[in-house]
């Protein structure tokens, strides 16, 4: 059986570039250069039929380690909890107050970018603390 070499995470959204640029800031990702023959992505978008302009956005980990993220415009809005979500692992290896302080500092940074803090889940006998958040279009993710 062949192993999977690369994974892309796809987001359905109303405004692909807005959501994609938010996640670039969260994760330190970058957008690829515009297609050959175009000086900018705006130039590329202007070359498309009106209904296709701004219909998608992609970004990737500049180190090549993380998965590519792809954002595609869909007509319907988000109506229920995500079935899949990202865990942004900023507290790995930390415990107790140090972990919570690290998570809260990252939460403040992301709120300034347009995220919303939903709930702080404090450590218990089985799990360390985490913070449930929403991105700029309401998609849930966790600071872990």
CA distance 6 to 14: 26
- The pTM assigned to this predicted structure is 0.87
pLDDT in tens, 76-121: 887 887 878 899 999 999 999 999 999 999 999 999 999 999 999 9
Compute the distance between CA of residue 53 and CA of residue 49 in angstroms, rounded to an integer. Answer: 7
Contact 49, 61 (CB under 8 A): no
| pLDDT value, residue 55 | 93
Closest residue by Cα to residue 141 from 85, 92, 84, 89: 85
Residue spans of beta strands (DSSP E) within the chain: 8-13, 56-59, 68-73, 86-88, 116-121, 130-134, 140-143
Give the C-alpha separation, 57 to 41, whole Å.
10
What does pLDDT average to over the chain? 92
Coil, helix or strand at residue 112: helix
Q: What is the pLDDT of residue 2?
A: 66
Predicted confidence band of residue 1 (pLDDT cuts 50, 70, 90): low
* pLDDT (mean) for 33-43: 92
CB-facing half-sphere around the CA of 55: CA atoms within 13 A? 11
Residue 78 is classified by DSSP as P
d(CA 103, CA 130): 7
Residue 4's pLDDT band (cuts 50, 70, 90)? low
Token pair of 48, please? 């498309």
Residue 109 confidence (pLDDT): 97
Q: Which residue has the higher pLDDT, 116 or 127?
A: 116
Q: Distance (Å, rounded) from C-alpha 107 to C-alpha 103?
A: 6
């Amino acid at each position: 059986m062949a192993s999977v070499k690369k994974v892309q995470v796809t987001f359905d959204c109303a405004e692909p570039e807005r959501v994609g640029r938010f996640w670039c800031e969260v994760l330190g990702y970058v957008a690829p250069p515009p297609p050959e023959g175009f000086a900018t992505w705006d130039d590329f978008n202007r070359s498309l039929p009106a209904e296709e302009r701004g219909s998608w956005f992609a970004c990737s980990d500049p180190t090549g380690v993380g998965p590519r993220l792809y954002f595609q415009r869909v007509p319907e809005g988000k109506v229920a909890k995500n079935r899949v979500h990202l865990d942004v692992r900023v507290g790995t290896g930390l415990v107790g107050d140090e972990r919570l302080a690290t998570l809260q500092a990252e939460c403040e940074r992301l709120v300034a970018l347009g995220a919303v803090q939903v709930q702080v889940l404090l450590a218990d006998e089985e799990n360390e603390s985490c913070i449930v958040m929403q991105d700029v279009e309401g998609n849930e993710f966790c600071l872990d």
